[in-house]
Each structure stands twice: as structure tokens, then as C-alpha cells.
A and B are shown apart, each in its own frame.
Chain A
């Protein structure tokens, strides 16, 4: 089966750093992506890890360890506008472009 687990909710204050984990039990996947979705809005693409390691894009970084079936999204210098839901996603099976999304993490940033 395929499942990607994320914490349901994370809270933090402005300026802080928060890590959102994604663990998966799936086979034959390729690539880990992260999407952000504000309430009532469309999901927007944040980052992609095709290989193990850390990818950095401004205040956001994403990490993948395929051997540990684990990845995370790291958000630094949190701002109020970062309050949103965050979804990890993997492509399964590896030879398609169909993304399976995680359960989603709601991040609330407080002043």
C-alpha cells in the first residue's frame, strides 16, 4: 500500500524555525515534493527532492532520505503569511507522473 504520514498540526511563533516531517510506507516511489495551500486557495508547488539530501529555496528547505523513508520541510524566519497547510507528495509508481499526497500539516504562526 501507499501512505504518507504527516503531523496534523504544528504551531510556532513569528521568526521561529519549524520542521514538518513526512514519513512514507510505499514502494517504487520517485521524488518527494512539497506543496503549500492557504485556506480556500489552490495548492502551490514549493520544492522537489529527486535525490537524497537537502534542497534550499530561500527560507524553505526540504530534505529526503530514501533509505529512512523520511523527508521534511524546514521553514525558517517564520512569517504570519506562512500559516497554511503543507502537503508532501511522491510519484508512484516511479515511471509515472501521478502524485500521491500526504495527509497534510496545518501550520499556524502566531505573533
Chain B
């Protein structure tokens, strides 16, 4: 597609439920990233996929968080047993060859997750 697509755009869930957030990167982009942004805050790195390499999971805040990327394209971020502190906007981004040559990331519009 023309841009990075994320779904759903908004998600309200009850504490303790599992949620899945989806990201469709730009076709041909080998790198895919997930970030989290709390209200009025900066972007917190969660996980990074590059081609067929093992993902960099160093930013995942707990073992309740996991992500996968199927076929080098679509990615799903799963949060199990959601907690109220998980409420945030989850942003996905993709990049042609990473940031190494200053291509920059293209971000999706995000999924606003509210845990009640």
C-alpha cells in the first residue's frame, strides 16, 4: 500500500483480556518497528524486525508482550492479560533499509489502546 496501515485505530478492552494489534508495512520495506507512546510522552521502543534476522525484542516491557512478523510483511503485536498501564498509542513504522542511510521511518497512524 501507499503507507503503513494499522488496525484497529482504537481499541477499548477490559483489564485482563488479551489484545492483538496489526500492522501492514509499506510493500518492499524490510524493516518493521513497534513503538509505544503514552499521552504527551515520547516514543518508547518495543521491538524491531529486519528481514529474516531474529527480532530485537529488547524494548518489550514484560513477557505479556510479544510480536511476530509473518512472511516478512504483516506484523501482529499481542498483549496478554492487559493492565491499565498498557493504555497508550501503539505505533508501527517501516523502513526501506533501516535508518542507516537516513531513509527515515514511515509511521502508521497508530492504535489507541485503552484498558478499563
A residues with a Cβ closer than 8 A to B are: 30-31, 33, 35, 41-45, 48, 50, 87, 89, 91, 96-104
Q: Can you name the residue of chain A whose Cβ is closest to the Cβ of B92?
A: A42
State the CA gap A31–B100 with chains docked (Å): 8
CA distance A96 to B104 in the complex (A): 13
Q: Are B98 and A97 in contact (CB under 8 A)?
A: yes
Complex CA gap A40/B87 in Å reads: 15
Q: Is the CB of A31 within 8 A of B102?
A: yes
B99 contacts partner chain A, Cβ-Cβ < 8 Å:
yes
Q: Which residue of B lies closest to A41 (CB)?
A: B109
Which of B17-25, B42-50, B60-68, B70-78 lies at the interface? B42-50
Q: Which residue of A lies closest to B93 (CB)?
A: A43
Given contacts A42-B109, A43-B107, A44-B107, contact A91 B100 (CB under 8 A): yes
Chain B's interface size range is 20 to 34
User: What is the CA–CA distance of A102 and B43 in the complex, to the nearest angstrom?
Assistant: 8
- Chain A contact surface mostly: strand
Complex CA–CA separation, A41 to B109 (angstroms): 6
The 7 A-B pairs of least Cβ separation, nearest first, read A97-B98, A45-B104, A48-B102, A42-B107, A101-B43, A97-B99, A104-B42
A31 and B102 alpha carbons, distance in the complex (Å)? 8
Residues of chain A lying within 8 A (CB to CB) of residue B4: 42
User: Do A42 and B108 contact each other (CB < 8 Å), given the known contacts A87-B43, A98-B48, A101-B42?
Assistant: yes
CA–CA, A104 and B44, complex, Å: 12
Shortest distance from the beta carbon of A101 to any chain B beta carbon, whole Å: 4
Contact string against A for B residues 72-107, beta-carbon threshold 8 Å, 1 for contact and 0 otherwise? 000000000000000000010101011111101111
B 30-55 to A, binary, CB cutoff 8 A, 1 in contact else 0: 01010100000111010010100000
> What's the least CB distance linking A30 to chain B, in Å?
8
CA of A100 to CA of B104 in the docked complex: distance in angstroms? Answer: 13
Task: Using A43-B107, A44-B107, A91-B99 as known contacts, say yes or no to A97 and B42 having CB atoms under 8 A apart.
Answer: no
Q: Is the CB of B42 within 8 A of A99?
A: no
For B110, the chain A residues whose CB sits under 8 A away are: 42
B91 near A97 with CB under 8 A, answer no
